[in-house]
Amino acid sequence: QKEVEQNSGPLSVPEGAIASLNCTYSDRVSQSFFWYRQYSGKSPELIMSIYSNGDKEDGRFTAQLNKASQYVSLLIRDSQPSDSATYLCAVNSGNTPLVFGKGTRLSVIA
Amino acid sequence: KAGVTQTPRYLIKTRGQQVTLSCSPISGHRSVSWYQQTPGQGLQFLFEYFSETQRNKGNFPGRFSGRQFSNSRSEMNVSTLELGDSALYLCASSLTGTSASGNTIYFGEGSWLTVV
């Protein structure tokens, strides 16, 4: 059973701080990794995708991947109250559907 | 470019009834996946269709079924509804399907189903 684990939170950070969201996965052959943001009552929207070890930056967001440790993280710099949402980690292992974690709830306090 | 469209957005059904949900993918996308989202279980994969063929299926009972039409539109059906089927049902479309590494999926707004 392929699993993706996330701390459910809530993770509370002050406005302007760095929010760090973590995700571990069980399938060693996983190849593609995604972070989705989901606001309450809305559907998930894609924030970042990462496929290679290391960091990938997009604006205030940085995804970090360590395949040896089976670990992927998302950093949000200069956190804003509008970043308050649930962040879903999703992992793909080639010929299988995306497997999602249950999400981490982030609360950015103004 | 229009996104993924799901209908209906909200519905209430009675135990034992059946329900059909519809999804129109992004234009040009040939793969449609369905997910069930509940507070306790998170996002769980139901099935994936590509070019009218079911390519993957999740761990759900046979009461859950789906199909895809030649224009890539998809429907899912749940028969003999149970209280536990109350959930947000999300449709996602992608160009080539979730089975392709690196492929990105985009979600529709979802259909909120309440079974009473």
| pLDDT tens per residue across span A67-97 | 999 999 999 999 999 999 999 999 987 667 8
A40 shares contact with chain B (CB less than 8 Å): no
A83 Ramachandran zone, left/alpha/beta (phi>0; psi -120 to 50): alpha
Residues of chain B contacting residue A92, judged by C-beta atoms under 8 Å apart:
98, 101-103
| pLDDT tens per residue across span B53-97 | 998 899 999 999 999 999 999 999 999 999 999 999 999 998 876
pLDDT of residue A22: 96
CA distance A7 to chain B (A): 13
pLDDT of residue B98: 57
Cis peptide bond prior to A44, omega within 30° of 0: no
User: Residue B50: CA atoms inside 13 Å, Cβ hemisphere, count?
Assistant: 13
Is the CA virtual torsion B105, B33, B6, B44 positive or negative?
A: negative
